[in-house]
Amino acid sequence: MGKRILVPVDESTQARTAVEFAAENSPDATLILLHVINPAEAGYSPGASVPTFPEEWFETRKTTAEALFDELTAVAEEFGADDVERVTEVGRPTTAIVEYADEHDVDQIVMGSHGRAGVSRILLGSVAETVVRRATVPVTVVR
């Protein structure tokens, strides 16, 4: 089995840069584009027994993810990747990324950094920073 690289993606420029980096530096690897739909964005509480987010919101997020995958798959192919998989998960992004890597034989995670600094980084944290701390595989953070 070849190298498997997980690339968490969202609509940011940094995510696109991570896809470019992974494709260009590991063209023979399987790139797994992972988009996490975070129910917290719609007011869903994970402890609630009945979801409080509207179904339309969720369907819109899935449609947005598919469009994002189309765009980023084309970018990956443009930069040399031949094998691209698309995965959508629902949950907290940091948890979903680390769990997916652990459960699916991922060799490396390549992700973008949002470049937070100072007080906002201390107060809000960073998905990339948390993944770096929790992942059991190497993580490359690109700017």
Radius of gyration of the chain (CA): 15
H-assigned helices in the chain: 13-25, 55-78, 93-103, 118-124, 127-134
Structure tokens at 92: 């907290």
Structure tokens at 64: 């947005």
Q: What is the pLDDT of residue 41?
A: 79
> First vs last Cα of the chain: how many Å apart?
29
Q: What is the pLDDT of residue 55?
A: 81
Q: What is the pLDDT of residue 82?
A: 95
- Contact call for residues 72 and 33 (beta carbons, < 8 A): yes
What are the φ/ψ torsions at residue 78 (nearest 5 degrees)? Answer: -60, -35
3-state secondary structure of 108: strand
- The structural domain count of the chain equals 1
CA 112 vs. chain centroid, Å, equals: 9
Distance CA 127, CA 102 (A): 17
Q: What is the pLDDT of residue 123?
A: 46
Name every residue whose Cβ is closer than 8 Å to that of residue 21 and which is 6 or more positions away in sequence.
110, 140, 142
What pTM was estimated for this model as a whole? Answer: 0.86
- Residue by residue, pLDDT tens for the chain (143 residues) are 579 999 999 999 999 999 999 999 999 999 999 999 998 877 655 555 555 557 888 899 999 999 999 999 999 999 999 999 999 999 999 999 999 999 999 999 999 987 555 554 544 458 999 999 999 999 999 98
Q: What is the pLDDT of residue 49?
A: 52
Q: Which domain holds residue 54?
A: 4-142
Q: What is the pLDDT of residue 63?
A: 96
Cα angle, residue 71 at apex, residues 67 and 74 outer, rounded to 5°: 140
Domain CATH for 43: 3.40.50.620
